[in-house]
Amino acid sequence: MTRRRAVVVTGASGGVGRATARAFAARGDRVALLARGRDGLAAAADEVTQAGGEALVVSVDVADAKAVEDAAQQVVDAFGKIDVWVNNAFAGIYAPFTEITPDEFRRVTEVTYLGYVFGTRAALRHMLPRDRGAIVQVGSSLAYRGIPLQSAYCGAKHAIQGFNESVRCELLHEGSRVRTTMVQLPAVNTPQFDWVLSRMPSRVRPVAPIYQPEVAARAIVHAAAHPRRREYWVGGSTVATLVANAVAPGLLDRYLARMGFDAQQEAGREREEAARYARYDGHGNLWTPADGPHGHDFGAHGRFDGESLPGSSQEWVSRNRGRMGAGLAVGGALALAARLTRTPLAAQLRRKHRGH
Contacts of 184 (CB under 8 A, 6+ apart): 139, 140, 141, 143, 144, 231, 232, 233, 234, 238, 242
The predicted pLDDT at position 101 comes to 97
Q: Which amino acids are annotated catalytic?
A: 153
- Give me the pLDDT at residue 33, please: 98
Q: What is the pLDDT of residue 322?
A: 57
More confident residue, 290 or 113: 113
Q: How far apart are CA 95 and CA 92, in angstroms?
A: 10
Whether residue 104 is predicted with pLDDT greater than 50 in this model: the reply is: yes
Q: What is the DSSP letter of 146?
A: -
pLDDT of residue 267: 85
The predicted model gives 18-34 an average pLDDT of 98
Query: What pLDDT, on a 0 to 100 scale, did the predictor assign at position 191?
Result: 95
CB of 246 closer than 8 Å to CB of 238: no
Nearest 5°: phi and psi at 58?
Answer: -130, 110
238: pLDDT strictly greater than 90: yes
How would residue 349 be classed by pLDDT, with cut points 50, 70 and 90?
A: very low
Query: What is the pLDDT of the chain when averaged over all its residues?
Result: 89
Q: What percent of the chain has pLDDT over 70?
A: 83
pLDDT of residue 263: 96
**Which comes out higher in pLDDT, residue 119 or 355?**
119
Question: Cα(first)–Cα(last) distance of the chain, in Å?
Answer: 67
Position 280 confidence tier, pLDDT thresholds 50, 70, 90: very low
pLDDT of 327 strictly over 60: no
The pLDDT score that the predictor gives to residue 1 is 45
Strand pairing report for 93-94 and 210-211: unpaired
| 40-97 pLDDT per residue, tens | 999 999 999 999 999 999 999 999 999 999 999 999 999 999 999 999 999 999 999 9
Which pLDDT score, from 0 to 100, does residue 143 have? 96
Please say if the pLDDT value at position 332 is more than 70: no
Distance in angstroms (rounded) separating the CA atoms of residues 340 and 36: 41
More confident residue, 336 or 176: 176
Is residue 212 within 8 A of residue 300, CB to CB? The reply is no
Instruction: Render pLDDT for 141-185 as a digit per residue (tens, 0 to 9).
Output: 999 999 999 999 999 999 999 999 999 999 999 999 999 999 999
How far is 30 from 172, CA to CA, in rounded Å? 28
Average pLDDT over residues 8-26: 98
pLDDT at 318: 63
- DSSP letter (8 states) at residue 306: G
Is the pLDDT at 351 greater than 60, yes or no? no
Please state, in angstroms and rounded to a whole number, the distance separating the CA atoms of residues 61 and 287. Answer: 10
Q: What pLDDT sits at residue 294? A: 75
Taking the C-alpha atoms of residue 14 and residue 71, their distance in angstroms, rounded to an integer, is 19
Average pLDDT for residues 338-350, to the nearest whole number? 52
pLDDT given for residue 278 in this prediction: 40
Per the rule left: phi > 0, alpha: psi between -120 and 50, beta: everything else, 264 is: alpha
Kindly report the number of other CB atoms within 10 A of residue 33's CB atom: 28
**What was the pLDDT predicted at 325?**
53
The C-alpha angle 323, 140, 127, rounded to 5 degrees, equals 80
pLDDT at 206 exceeding the cut of 80: yes
